Amino acid sequence: MKNIVILISGGGSNMAAIVRTAQQEAWAQRYGARVAAVISNKADAGGLAFAREQGIPTETLDHKQFASREAFDAELAALVDRYDPALVLLAGFMRILTPGFVARYAGRLINIHPSLLPAFTGLHTHQRAIDAGCKFAGVTVHQVTAELDVGPILDQAVVPVLPDDTADTLAARVLTQEHVIYPRAVRALLQTL
């Protein structure tokens, strides 16, 4: 079985989209793949409840309990490795990972970022797109490398920036596309594993 481990920090809507797609498209039968665990750095992350309701094992590892980023990432890697992952998906996991963690899962560590990379890496992407006068914004699924939001692009979706958009209205429209392209990108990867 190709195990998928999903890392979240909050509500987990992208994780839920992937789980639902895996169920609807019978990924276990088609690709020999399953979401094996959902791990959060926050015990109150809303997505953990959804995962538990789906019968998916959940784990919590509080980054605040570690003296350094490296110590947290080492423990996180040990936790992830318990599930023997074919893919590790970042779905709103709000931590910058160390180069050692990224190297450990090279080629199988995937992230979703709410901009059309390479534009607007980092935070506040929607407001930055509006402030720059962009006519289009969007979302990118990419492989994670040691450089933030720069890895090879796997999929993208374009969303128009409307004249009366705020960061929140644009984010809401982009989010609907996130829920489409993240499962699609994962499905494409599973077909190559």
How close are the terminal C-alpha atoms of the chain, in Å? 11
Beta-carbon contacts of 26 under 8 Å, excluding residues fewer than 6 positions away, are none
| Active-site annotation holds for 179 | no
Among 63, 113, 124, 142, the one annotated catalytic: 113
Question: What is the rounded CA–CA span in Å between residue 177 and residue 175?
Answer: 5
For residue 179, the SS3 value is: helix
The beta-strand segments (E) located in the chain are 2-8, 33-40, 58-60, 85-90, 109-113, 136-143, 153-160
For residue 96, the SS3 value is: coil
Q: Which residues are catalytic?
A: 113
